[in-house]
Amino acid sequence: MAGNTFGTVFKITTWGESHGKGVGVVVDGCPPGLKLDESVIQPFMDRRKPGGSIASTRRKEPDTAVIMSGVFEGRTTGTPIAIMMVNKDADSSAYKPYADLYRPGHGDITYDAKYGFRDWRGGGRSSARETAARVAGGAVAGSLLRAFGVHVRAYTVALGGIIADPAKMTGDPDQNAFRCPDHDAAAEMEKRVDLVRKQGDSLGGVVEIKATGLPAGIGEPVFDKLDADLAGAIMSIGAVKGVEIGSGFAAASKTGSEHNDPITPEGFSSNNAGGILAGVSNGDEIIVRAAVKPIPSISIPQNTIDRSGAPATISVKGRHDISAIPRINVVCEAMTCLVLADHLLRQQAIVSSIFNKPEQTRRTHGTNP
């Protein structure tokens, strides 16, 4: 109820703070017999690690994932899988000056309001470092999904106002530093980041997540709709301010005849639905987009108050990213994997006891609008 557990059948519980002893995750509900060792998890940790682009922090955490339980002779046993990453490069001294100040755009003020005090070192539990545990858990979920033929990838479709065209994607979206499928846009993004860094400012953007291979029939009416759970999952990532599925906000200005995806024997002719109808997957690609706000830690001076309520000025100097993108992309993938793995298993709970065999499910590879 304190909110550190996510999922229903495939479930993770995370722990850890930015400058504590480490961060970790307990994965509960993973089916037994799945091949798993650290080599499955580490590549995802590495994609989240700082240093991948000029937009990222200079803190150096190896984020070496260690599996503590739940795996025997290279396979999951069906019991809890604990994974831990020890903190190596926490430097709390840089945060000492802000211990009594509220950094604008951060959770300092709200954590104090909620808990009465806070671990100010590196943002404590509100730090994006917490997402390392999500990525470790998401890596296990992703591995399970691949065994079902489901693949999830996230890529950058906007950064600092520069819009990329996802239709230009050829192969791995991680080919450039911004994990942007549109190489021309990526080049523009690099210039923009370079400029803003010099200004001591930061940037937001948009990430798109695509899941392929998900069968129709996944998702639970009425509150645990697949899109509802995806929206909650993505919005639970610190920097996200908006989530849309398929056509998203563009749907608001369309007519029904424009927006409905026609159905043919070969599948859907378009994918405004983003692969979800009435909260249940329709066999098409799942398309989710996340609006990411600019990193709130900037060196430009800002007005704030201290813990006593007195006015103050703050200039945040630590080792911060310029943008949560592209490191956040793998976090978006992780949360998507967690939702899809959970709902696949939820459907299994009823599907093998369906007394009236379901229709053959239908699939399509309709293009994303």
Per CB under 8 A, contacts with its own copies among 241-300 are 241-265, 269, 272-274, 276-283, 291-298, 300
Using an 8 Å Cβ cutoff, are 48 and 64 in contact?
no
Positions in 5-44 near its own copies (CB under 8 A): 5-6, 8-9, 11, 13-17, 20-24, 26, 28-29, 31-35
Using an 8 Å Cβ cutoff, are 156 and 179 in contact?
yes
- Please report how close the Cβ of residue 278 comes to its own copies at its closest, in angstroms: 2
Which helix or strand (DSSP H or E) is residue 227 part of?
helix 226-235
- Please report how close the Cβ of residue 164 comes to its own copies at its closest, in angstroms: 12
- Please report how close the Cβ of residue 171 comes to its own copies at its closest, in angstroms: 25
Using an 8 Å Cβ cutoff, are 54 and 194 in contact?
yes
Q: Which stretch binds its own copies (CB under 8 A): 38-46, 57-65, 173-181, 225-233?
A: 225-233
CA nearest to 27, candidates 337, 328, 332, 348: 337
Q: From CA 107, how far away is CA 309, in angstroms rounded? A: 16
Bridge partners, residue 76, by sequence: 71
- Please report how close the Cβ of residue 273 comes to its own copies at its closest, in angstroms: 7
* Parallel, antiparallel or unpaired: strands 276-277 and 151-159: unpaired
Bridge partners, residue 313, by sequence: 303
Q: From CA 251, how far away is CA 260, in angstroms rounded? A: 10
Positions in 123-142 near its own copies (CB under 8 A): 124-126, 130
- Specify the DSSP class assigned to residue 95: G
Count, residues near its own copies per rule CB under 8 A: 170
Query: Is residue 227 a contact point for its own copies (CB under 8 A)?
Result: yes
Positions in 163-222 near its own copies (CB under 8 A): 196, 199, 201-206, 215-222
Using an 8 Å Cβ cutoff, are 71 and 31 in contact?
no
62 versus 300: smaller Cβ distance to its own copies:
300
Q: Which stretch binds its own copies (CB under 8 A): 52-60, 166-174, 176-184, 359-367?
A: 359-367
Query: Is residue 319 a contact point for its own copies (CB under 8 A)?
Result: no
Other residues' Cβ atoms within 10 Å of the Cβ of residue 174: 18
Residue of the chain from 39, 93, 170, 303 that contacts its own copies (CB under 8 A) = 303
Residue of the chain from 40, 42, 46, 78 that contacts its own copies (CB under 8 A) = 78
Using an 8 Å Cβ cutoff, are 60 and 114 in contact?
no
171 versus 354: smaller Cβ distance to its own copies:
354
Angle at 130 between CA 128 and CA 135, to 5 degrees: 100
Query: Is residue 68 a contact point for its own copies (CB under 8 A)?
Result: yes
Using only C-alpha atoms, what is the Rg of the chain?
21
Q: Which stretch binds its own copies (CB under 8 A): 57-65, 115-123, 165-173, 180-188?
A: 115-123
Residue of the chain from 45, 154, 231, 331 that contacts its own copies (CB under 8 A) = 231
Q: From CA 43, how far away is CA 47, in angstroms rounded? A: 6
Q: Which stretch binds its own copies (CB under 8 A): 42-50, 57-65, 154-162, 183-191?
A: 154-162
